[in-house]
Structure 1
Amino acid sequence: MISWCPEGTKIKLRMVHSSSYSTLRNLLDSVQVCVQATDLSDLDYDELVSRASRPSRAGEAASSADSRSRPSVRG
């Protein structure tokens, strides 16, 4: 899942984006890789493929910009 919020975005819009992104991310349990991008260099194709190819580990942050860990839910 890619979150796009450019650097120059106004604070209020960034807060709305962050809240919406968090809600969506929590609803989509099957998302394994999350990338938060603020400019095009964050969306390098080779880096995105590398992240998507890595085996996921419970609690590992998917992005350095998004250091929150999500608990693993298995059922």
Structure 2
Amino acid sequence: VRAATKFPTFHAARISDVATARHAIATGKLDMVGMTRAHMADPHIIRKVMEGREHEIRPCVGATYCLDRI
């Protein structure tokens, strides 16, 4: 799509970890990644990435337990 339209590509379905998002962007598959479930599992995900604390990120396991906390 991007090659034909020159539009940026965005994907927001079931990318639940930073490594997958980083790989998709680094390899040119995507320009932006939405990580809603990852943010619900760990609301501090961005801060932890910026501070080099990715090992502390609470992962999304896809079981919707995070919805129980809302």
Q: TM-score range by the shorter chain?
A: under 0.3
Which of the pair is proportionally richer in helix?
2
Structure with bigger RCO (C-alpha 8 Å, 6+ apart): 1
Larger radius of gyration: 2
TM-score, normalized by length of structure 2?
0.26
TM superposition score normalised by structure 1: 0.25
